[in-house]
Amino acid sequence: MARVFRLAAALIFFFVADHAEAYPLPAQPQTSLVPINELPVHQVQFQFELGVSDGVILGSLSRSGYSDIRITKKKLTKARAEACRNGIRYDVEIAFDGRIRRATEIGKCRSVVNLELARNILQQKGFRKIQLGPDGAGFVAAACRGNRRFRVFLDQFGDIKGEKVLGRCGGNLTEYDIAAILRAQGFSRVRTKRERRGNFSVKACRGDDEVTLLVGREGVIQRERRVGRCDPPIHPATIPAFLARYGFTRIEIIDRKLPRYIAHACRDAQRLEISMNRFGEIVDERKIGRCELPLSAADLEIKLREIGYSRVRIVEDNASGFVAEVCDRGSLFRLDLTKYGETISEKGLGKCQSPRIGKILRQLESNGMTSATMFVEGCRKGKQVRVRLDRHGSIAGRKVIGRCR
């Protein structure tokens, strides 16, 4: 007869204790409604991301030839983004491991701008005395706004991706001004030194050629001489090695496409967004958060339960990270995680097997409970019914306790 009932989601246990002292229940974790970027700092902090990370999404799409990427939705095992490829804009679904599940055409992409349009965009933004040149797929400029000189980066669509103050506009040019002017003319890896008479001696690369330059105080090249060969541009796969050499850890490549390679990494307790040019030189750093301490197995188990997993079991805890088995909506998963709680991979292991009623009652009795009884509540013909089960799962009694909503 149990089949006629639609069982509710929760099982309710009623205990009749022989002693007056009640068995203590575990404290429930508190939920904060404060936005995550405004959370107060505590002595122990945890910050990690389960599901598809921004780095996986951006890296996967970038390697597949997509650009102008905008993440639109993130879930535990998949994500969606809008991105361009060959002039077409797509709605792309990305799997947990970075595989592209599908790509649906949704329209046309924005037009790529040329040097003239890029210059017009900068003028509309209030810049003047513009020195502009190509930089990867985009552009770099040295320009003045107000009384300050900036180095400005634009992508291929004309969007300004970064500004850096170089100094004051007007008066004598600084070494930073000369470097910015030369980069806007196509030079790279520029190293400048001021001479006694106000001129500048420069070592730089033009393409594969290493050159020395003599630059006048007004920024005009007076002499150029080839002195050797420059190393070729770096491959995006070598970015982690470059950043590790600079002392960064926990490195995640966010954007593998020029004009700027972008990575997130930790240095001491700071989480930084790092921009690199095609030659592996760091051109900008921006603080984006804190880098937390590694988690213990107990900390990780708490966090996994707080985000909704049940029957959490840490099966491996080693120097490289953790392996955990968890249940999610009746399915059993194996998670590989780093020491910081970041999910590396997820594998389905089938269904989560629920313990039998007799086993549940024995576990309760082993914790000191006596006369434990199990009840199930459900609806039948608009009435809320409470059913009492015996140790074998058979119906031992039922009672109408109200009306169903």
Taking each continuous run of H as one helix and of E as one strand, the counts in the chain are: 6, 25
For 244, the token pair is 């590790």
Rounded to the nearest angstrom, the gap between the alpha carbon of residue 290 and the centroid of all alpha carbons in its chain is 13
Amino acid at position 380, single letter: R
Distance CA 131, CA 119 (A): 9
User: Do the beta carbons of residue 64 and residue 100 sit within 8 Å?
Assistant: yes
Question: In what helix (H) or strand (E) does residue 219 lie, and over which residues does it extend?
Answer: none
- CATH architecture, range 112-171: Roll (3.10)
Quick one: fold of 294-351? Nuclear Transport Factor 2; Chain: A, (3.10.450)
Give the per-residue pLDDT at 50: 52
Q: What is the CATH number of domain 53-110?
A: 2.20.25
Closest by Cα among 194, 196, 142 to 166: 142
- Mark out the alpha helices in 40-89 (DSSP H runs): 54-63
Q: Say whether 294-351 and 112-171 share the same fold.
A: yes
Where do the domains of the chain lie? 2-23+368-403, 53-110, 112-171, 294-351
Query: Would you say how long the chain is, in residues?
Result: 405
Give the per-residue pLDDT at 293: 77
Give the per-residue pLDDT at 40: 36
Distance CA 112, CA 87 (A): 9
The per-residue pLDDT string of the chain (405 residues; one tens digit each, 9 = 90 and over) reads: 333 333 333 333 333 333 333 333 333 333 333 333 333 333 333 334 456 777 778 878 888 888 888 888 887 778 899 988 888 899 999 987 788 989 999 988 888 888 889 999 999 999 988 878 777 678 888 888 988 888 888 888 888 888 888 777 776 777 877 887 887 787 888 889 888 777 899 999 988 899 999 988 777 788 899 999 988 888 888 888 888 888 888 888 888 887 788 999 988 788 999 988 888 888 788 888 888 778 889 988 998 888 888 889 999 998 878 999 999 888 899 988 888 777 778 888 888 877 677 777 777 778 787 777 778 888 888 888 888 877 667 787 888 888 887
